[in-house]
Structure 1
């Protein structure tokens, strides 16, 4: 009788698994949800990771997730051998229940902080690479360039005014040919008024002296966290269209002088948070 060779498919699942491990998805979920480690054969974190990989690689419905894992090498994905039958809809459903009871938005916020490599106060764990923005978020119709700084007082404008405008201008030049709007989002513990004035004017000149108008909004970390956490608490996410509207509303107020613009930005954040809270 000839030996049979079982072929196991890997595809993008192994890469995605490593990304999950990089942000400590399993450990974070296990630490934040209530579960019985003695009675549970698979931890909630492992089950949620299995769901994430399924969603990103195959999109099978809950009751067919086990089929997705029939041709995968589970030991490469989870560092332990898992039978596909262990990933049935009842087991996965219980993991989702644990996540719901722990308030999913809190779990997601913690994972987001790990993914962005910042701590609980939104301070970076490692310095950003030079010659480029800290983060770029591309959506269907627009792009947000995010810059985060620890500098304060007058040093802030001197250290950040030119590089932030330059980074945003470079992204504008890249995306304007695709018809996408570009916004700059500048985050700091405190916004120095001179920094606000630089971004309020929002001008950059290309090497050929052509003038470029930039859309950059300075927010304090407290303002952004307030908006971010309220969005996740109410809707389970911060809607990207809502975020763009907030940026647009703040930019409308930029015809005021810098001190007044900062006050108007705070008012816009307060109104948005109040509007979100009224949904409940």
Structure 2
């Protein structure tokens, strides 16, 4: 078999379904490597990625909610009679803190300091593998206190599934689909747009979303801007929960 034959055979898959094309090309390459090990061939005709046809890379962003509609979502969240308390509180925390779904699901009671209004996320639960202090606005503390009053599970998980494990990663997502085609991860973009419109310092906004600082910034910025983030997140929480006539 010649390289051109393999290229032609994989071309359509490579262009139209690139992730699958990458896997198949890799499998073909391994098969021929194995044939060489068995001395059935002397060469590997599999084309390298650079020799494959060009494909158009599409970046798919998480669907998010314009911050102008966040009051509508908050009102909806508090009028859903069939939503479980953990799902309700999980979505509320995602809105108020712009945290990733995994970090919320893995939250444990021992990580929360109610007196200092801080949640310490261990490095293993963070995308960047760094321990993180998270300031908690008043509204987030109220949601957590509500769950605590319901009773804490033996597992220690705040959002326990009832089986000693964190709630399903799709629980909040499925609930949100009843409101609109959005995701919990998209709340990060929602808060980001609100910060940009409100002229919030970009360093503070980036730290709120736990984005990795640029190399030089990371070298010279030793503080985690805890109090600066606390102020902005409380302002955001007040904005989220306000409505004509009072809070929800």
TM class, shorter-length: under 0.3
User: TM-score under structure 1 normalisation?
Assistant: 0.24
- Higher percent of residues as strand: 1
User: TM-score under structure 2 normalisation?
Assistant: 0.26
Report which structure shows greater RCO (CA 8 Å, sep ≥6).
2
